[in-house]
Chain A
Amino acid sequence: MGSYLPSTAGERQEMLKTIGLEHLQDLYRDVPGSVLLADSVDIPEGQPEMVVRSKMEAMAARNTVFPTVLRGAGSYDHYIPAIVSTVTSKEEFLTTYTPYQAEISQGVLQSIFEYQTLMCELTGMDVSNASIYDGASAAAEAVMMTQTRERSKVYVASTAHPEVIQTIKTYCWGRGIAFVEIPQKDGLLDRHTLETLPADTACVYIQQPNFYGLFEDAQQVAMLAHQAGAKAVMGFYPISLGICKTPGEMDFDIAVGEGQSLGIPMSWGGPYLGIMTAKKDMMRMLPGRIAGETVDNEGRRAFVLTLQAREQHIRREKASSNVCTNQALCAMTAAVYLAAMGPQGLREVAQLCYEGAHYFGDELSKLKGFERVHQTEFFNEFMSCCPMDVHAFEAEMAKHGILCGLTVDDKLLWCVTEKMDKAAIDGVIAVIREVCGQ
């Protein structure tokens, strides 16, 4: 059996004696006898570290790690600089609790304050919270922020990520809020719905670039939402903001995003990072933690968790949200990533993604049956047709160590990151030719 208990059997007996008891069982005398377990629970015997480790390694080995990943759709295979995990694995950061005791938590509080500033700079928005669970839950919480007595109806772009749409839908069902999906045409939002938004519309949620990688006319969406007196909420892909127009520049009220692309491994879906930013006038509606700057009793700069009057431990059932943590370590990951990249590096990564995806798109469409599905502007993801059964194609590509585009019905949603250079893409094209016999 493995164990992390320091106490020896002798010490345990002495401690029991000190408190006037004989057996550990005596501590459980309030537990009704009918439900007290006689012999623990039915799980395997414990094992020493070496044995457990090899068991877990064997499980990991039963997975396929793809050397080449051409799949995005909400989780992106970007390069992670070595310094990122070196910083975040420092045991002070790794093991500390939520920084309630500011005097001994300045490090983590300052890092959150810096993260909040970085998110504002990245998005062009005024304020950021300390982060929440992931991009999808951030989108759902953002929608909840827009609820007022008069306005509750939520309009969500059908071109957003399906998991984000489902998450918003679930949160709306929970609160009893009307949820409407905005239809699409040629991979883009159908403007018609936005021109006729009813008076009880709380917000419009769109994703830029959208699920198919395409650029929506986001500025127009924000304008139409505002014309109807509703809030405009945008979901963004952080890496794209290295070169793309920001939600701040397009006048969105709230901007949320999945922060995984900022230095967090794909991790089979989590832990990830929910980025939440907003205009200043919505600051007090933000859910979750917010770090703020203040001074200590000697006038020195200090950081604390602030604006807590919004939160559940004060407001209980009247709180704006039940969120009581953030993804602090993931937020720090994103902060270290952005510091390591710097403004120039981030721009270069975004540019590499953009150029690589367009080069790949051009080369792919030279092959028979792989035409692009949509003809409008895209960032680093795009849909293509597939001349053979998509699942058969996926399986064949996997044999060459390539995770191809995501199968969406009978089509493929491709993604290119900075990890692919021209030679690598040419290699992929050669494999596709072979697989399709072209």
Chain B
Amino acid sequence: MKLIFERSVSGRRTHLTPKSTFPSKELPQALARAKQPKLPEMSEVAISRHYTQLAKQTFGVNNGFYPLGSCTMKYNPRVNEAVAALPGFARMHPLQPKATVSGCREVLDTARAHLCEITGMDDMTFQPAAGAHGEYVGLLLMKQYHQSRGDHKRTRVLIPDSAHGTNPASASMVGFTVTHIPSDVEGCVDLKALKAALDDTVAGLMLTNPNTVGIFDPNILDITRLVHDAGGLNYYDGANLNAIMGWVRPGDMGFDVIHLNLHKTFSTPHGGGGPGAGPVGCKKLLSGFLPMSHMGSRIWEGEKPDSVGQVRAFYGNFLVVVRALTYILTLGKEGIPQASGMAVLNANYLMHKVKDAFPLAYDRICMHEFVLTLESVRKETGVSALDVAKCLLDYGMHPPTMYFPLVVKEALMVEPTETENRETLDEAAEVLLAIREMTKTRPEKLHLCPNTTPIGRPDEVGAARNPRVRYQFPD
């Protein structure tokens, strides 16, 4: 498909803004740009068609089943979008006087109250723009907490080996060193290894529960107690909250600080990678350290003398919070646990239907997602998890997450979410069983998949070796 620059024709343009009515005034030469940018010169219809074509080559939640593990690709309700587009939200300047933003403050206060109740936390900031950004804030809170107590030797963070890569990367950003805690045979935290790692240099533990293999760690209360006893704090990575909301609260499990992914659990759209939102909740003992907006604090937030500072401008991805609040008010007290319950049921139902074809990494009741391991399939037939994923594309299905978590070889991580119906799950199971048959009868065909997509498998090694990261205009 042509790039937008290849559709540009010199002299074509749109007519969007009026002619100047001011006395003309030129920028001094020394301040003016010499080289004009090669932006595309196009009619509006050409732009419109260009993006319609790009949309056709993009797979959204409504294009088909999207069981992407750890990403919670549930349906994004349309009313959320309608509400976020209201001028009373979208047209608000972040530095308006306090008396003119009562509605915005009400959105944040209401969302904070409900999300604190859902997670068992006492306070919450909406400043972090994404999950990883939230992790970063959570770790800053931990750092500030220990420093405020004069406890400067706590520089280690414990992270299970099954964790998402952002956990250790975030820990490094606040100057912590990482100690990896191995998983036991059940995929849960190895208590013995945890005990051995705990001492007075541990700042805290980062954990998701259910963990990245989709299992609720039954020892969770022991885990958090051990960390507390050693003087550390417990951080909850909210990536998998969609399994448990309304059933059990991280705050009750012994966690002190938590981030949420509003774009996963609370139905806001992923937008091709963003914008999401990663609010951070905490117990009272950390509340005073929460980030603030330096300028907003003067206008409406109030000063926070012990705050860790700020991690972006203003108050966060406000319109994402508007969407999430709309969702919470819609589902309410009954709907929240029903959504998570159905997410777990859908996962177990699909797991049940495919587990005879593809071995499970852990054969037991799962939470909202489960992990298949294709190690034996690969040994037996040469077909890899990647081959199966690419074959699914030909069936109009988005593949599961591949090769994660790292503790499982040839992993496919499947998360159907609660908004899928039984027919979709049945069809997906049939497709997976059919592919399993193909691994036995025609394995060579699977190496060539996909065949029905706009492109075949791309040369990723070549892309990294010889990076072309912008269009080169012909001379």
A163 near B273: Cβ-Cβ < 8 Å: no
Task: Verify B107–A59 contact, CB threshold 8 A.
Answer: yes
**Is B398 positioned at the interface, with any CB of A under 8 Å from its CB?**
yes
How far in angstroms is the closest Cβ of chain B from A286? 9
Nearest CB in chain B to that of A322: its residue: B169
Give Cα A92–Cα B83 distance, bound, in whole angstroms. 19
CB of B376 closer than 8 Å to a CB of A: no
Q: Chain A residues near B3 (CB, 8 Å)?
A: 110, 113-114, 117
| Chain B residues whose C-beta falls within 8 Å of the C-beta of A48 in the assembled complex | 330
Are B422 and A19 in contact (CB-based, < 8 A)?
no
B118:A43 contact, CB within 8 angstroms: yes
Most buried by B among A37, A77, A322: A322
B293 on interface, CB distance cutoff 8 Å? yes
Q: Is A387 an interface residue (CB 8 A)?
A: no
0 or 1 for each of A77-114: is its CB under 8 Å from B? (1 = yes): 10101010111011111111111011111111011111
* Per-position binary interface string of chain A over residues 1-38, scored 1 when its CB falls under 8 Å from any chain B CB and 0 otherwise: 11111110001101110110100100111111011110
The verdict on A324 contacting chain B, using a C-beta distance below 8 Å, is yes
Contact indicator per residue, chain B 35-51, by CB within 8 Å of chain A (1) or not (0): 11111111010011011
Measured CB to CB, the closest approach of chain B to A17, in angstroms, equals: 10
Stretch at the interface among B230-238, B303-311, B431-439: B303-311
Q: Which of B76, B245, B326, B393 contacts A95 (CB 8 A)?
A: B76
Contacts of A289 on B, CB cut-off 8 Å?
A: 273
Which A residues lie within 8 Å of B457 (CB)?
A: 103, 296-297
Given A1-B335, A324-B165, also A302-B458 (CB < 8 A)? yes
Asked if B196 is an interface residue, CB under 8 A from chain A, the answer is no
In the bound assembly, the distance between CA atoms of A27 and B345 in angstroms comes to: 7
**Does the CB pair A306–B456 fall under 8 Å?**
no
Q: Is B470 an interface residue (CB 8 A)?
A: yes
Q: How far is the CA of A315 from the CA of B169 in the complex (A)?
A: 8
Among B139, B274, B367, B471, chain A packs the most CB atoms within 10 A around the CB of B274
A418 within 8 A of B: yes
Chain B residues closer than 8 Å to A373, beta-carbon distance? none
In the complex, the chain A residue whose C-beta lies closest to that of B164 is A313
Whether a CB of chain B sits under 8 angstroms from the CB of A228 is no
Which chain A residues lie closer than 8 Å to B172 at the CB level?
Answer: 317-319, 322
Q: Establish whether residues A174 and B1, one from each chain, have CB atoms under 8 Å apart when the complex forms.
A: no
A175 & B319 in contact (Cβ 8 Å cutoff): no
Whether A121 contacts B39 by the Cβ 8 Å rule is yes
Q: Which residues of B contact A55 (CB under 8 A)?
A: 329
Give A339-379 interface residues, CB cut-off 8 Å to B.
339-349, 351-352, 354-356, 358-359, 377
A176 located at the interface, meaning its Cβ lies under 8 Å from any Cβ of chain B in the complex: yes
Give the residues in chain A near B329, CB-CB below 8 Å.
Answer: 44, 46-47, 52, 55-56
- Indicate which residue in B12, B216, B331, B398 contacts A3 across the interface (CB closer than 8 Å): B331
- Across the interface, which residues of B come within 8 angstroms of A359, CB to CB? 22-23
Min CB gap A339→B, angstroms: 5
Q: Is the CB of A116 within 8 A of B470?
A: yes
B63 at the interface (CB under 8 A from A): yes
Partner of A163, one of B271, B310, B421: B310
> Which single member of B87, B168, B216 contacts A60 (CB below 8 Å)?
B87
Contacts of A295 in B (CB 8 A): 458-459, 462
**Inter-subunit contact A61/B316 (CB<8 Å):** no
Q: Does B315 have its Cβ within 8 Å of any Cβ on chain A?
A: yes
B285 cross-chain contacts in A, Cβ below 8 A: none
Chain A residues closer than 8 Å to B168, beta-carbon distance: 312, 316-317
Q: Is the CB of B58 within 8 A of A316?
A: no
The CA-CA distance from A133 to B317 in the complex, in Å, is 9
Cβ-defined partner of A290 (8 Å) among B81, B308, B422, B469: B469
B171 within 8 A of A: yes
- Inter-chain contacts of B139 with A (CB < 8 A): 174
Q: Is B414's beta carbon under 8 Å from chain A?
A: no
Q: Is A118 an interface residue (CB 8 A)?
A: yes
- Bound state CA distance, A347 and B38, in angstroms? 12
Contact code string A38-55 (vs B, CB < 8 Å = 1, else 0): 001111111111001101
Is A293 part of the binding interface, using a Cβ–Cβ cutoff of 8 Å? yes
CA distance A240 to B53 in the complex (A): 31
Does the CB pair B249–A37 fall under 8 Å? Answer: yes
In residues 100-151 of chain A, which contact B (Cβ within 8 Å)?
101-108, 110-114, 116-118, 120-122, 124, 126-128, 130-131, 133-137, 140
B165 and A316: CB pair below 8 A? Answer: yes
Interface residues on A, range: 35 or more
In chain A between 280 and 322, which residues have their CB closer than 8 angstroms to a CB of chain B? 283, 289-298, 300-304, 306-309, 311-319, 321-322
For the complex, is B154 an interface residue (Cβ under 8 Å from A)? Answer: no
- Judged by a CB distance under 8 angstroms, whether A428 is at the interface is no
Residues on A with C-beta less than 8 A from B276 are 325
Residue of A nearest to B37 (CB): A121
Given A29-B365, A46-B335, are A340 and B14 neighbors across the interface (CB < 8 Å)? Answer: yes
Chain A residues contacting B185 (CB-CB under 8 Å) are none
* Chain B, interface residues (CB within 8 Å), range: 35 or more
Asked if A258 CB lies within 8 Å of chain B CBs, one says yes
- Decide if B117 touches A59 in the complex (CB within 8 Å): no
B178 to chain A, nearest CB (A): 5
Does B312 contact A122, Cβ atoms closer than 8 Å? Answer: no
Q: Is the Cβ of A105 less than 8 Å from the Cβ of B59?
A: yes
Does B411 lie at the interface of the complex (its beta carbon under 8 Å from any beta carbon of A)?
A: no
Give the docked Cα–Cα distance between A253 and B154 (Å). 36
Shortest Cβ distance from residue B84 to the other chain A in the assembled complex, whole angstroms? 8
Binds B, one of A186-194, A197-205, A266-274, A429-437: A266-274
* Inter-subunit contact A5/B471 (CB<8 Å): no
Interface code B86-116, partner A: CB below 8 Å = 1, 0 otherwise? 1111111111110111111011000000100
Contact A92 B216 (CB under 8 A): no
Partner of A136, one of B54, B166, B313, B349: B313
Q: Is the CB of B27 within 8 A of A244?
A: yes
Given A294-B460, A296-B459, CB of A30 within 8 Å of CB of B216? yes
A266 lies within 8 A of B94 (CB): yes
B160 within 8 A of partner (CB) = no
Interface residues of A in 135-191 (CB under 8 A from B): 135-137, 140, 161-167, 169-171, 173-176
Chain A 406-417, CB-CB to B under 8 Å as 1, else 0, gives 100000000000
Q: How far is the CA of A164 from the CA of B165 in the complex (A)?
A: 27
Q: Are B342 and A19 in contact (CB under 8 A)?
A: no
- Let me know if B21 is at the binding interface, CB within 8 A: yes
> Which of B1, B61, B87, B398 is within 8 Å of A106, CB to CB?
B1
Which residue in A103, A114, A312, A340 is a CB contact (below 8 Å) of B393?
A103
Q: What distance in Å separates the Cβ of A122 from its nearest Cβ neighbour in chain B?
A: 5
Contact B330 A59 (CB under 8 A): no
A30 near B365: Cβ-Cβ < 8 Å:
yes
**B470 in contact with A398 (CB, 8 Å):** no
Q: How far is the CA of A343 from the CA of B316 in the complex (A)?
A: 32
Closest-CB distance, A107 to chain B (whole angstroms): 4
Q: Check if A89 sits within 8 Å of B81, measured CB to CB.
A: yes
Q: A249 an interface residue at 8 Å Cβ cutoff?
A: yes
Q: Say yes or no: A312-B166 contact (C-beta < 8 A), given A12-B345, A98-B272, A292-B463.
A: yes
CB atoms of A94 and B332 under 8 A apart: no
Min C-beta distance of A265 to chain B, whole Å: 4
Q: Are B60 and A406 in contact (CB under 8 A)?
A: no
Report Cα–Cα, A406/B298, bound state, in Å: 12
Interface status of A241 (Cβ within 8 A of chain B): yes
A99 partner residues in chain B, CB cutoff 8 A: 272-273
Asked whether A133 lies within 8 Å of B133 as measured between CB atoms, the reply is yes
For B103, the chain A residues whose CB sits under 8 A away are 59-63
Are A7 and B422 neighbours in the complex by a CB distance under 8 Å?
Answer: yes
Cα A112 to Cα B4 with chains together (Å): 11
Query: Residues of B contacting A356 with CB < 8 Å?
Result: 22
Which residues of A have CB within 8 Å of B271?
93-96, 327-330
6 pairs across A/B with beta carbons < 8 Å? A41-B245, A47-B329, A97-B71, A98-B273, A271-B319, A336-B51
In the complex, given contacts A35-B252, A313-B166, what are 4 additional A-B residue pairs having Cβ atoms less than 8 angstroms apart? A170-B311, A245-B31, A245-B33, A296-B455
State the 6 A-B residue pairs at the shortest beta-carbon distance, nearest first. Answer: A46-B332, A60-B88, A269-B314, A170-B309, A329-B271, A271-B275
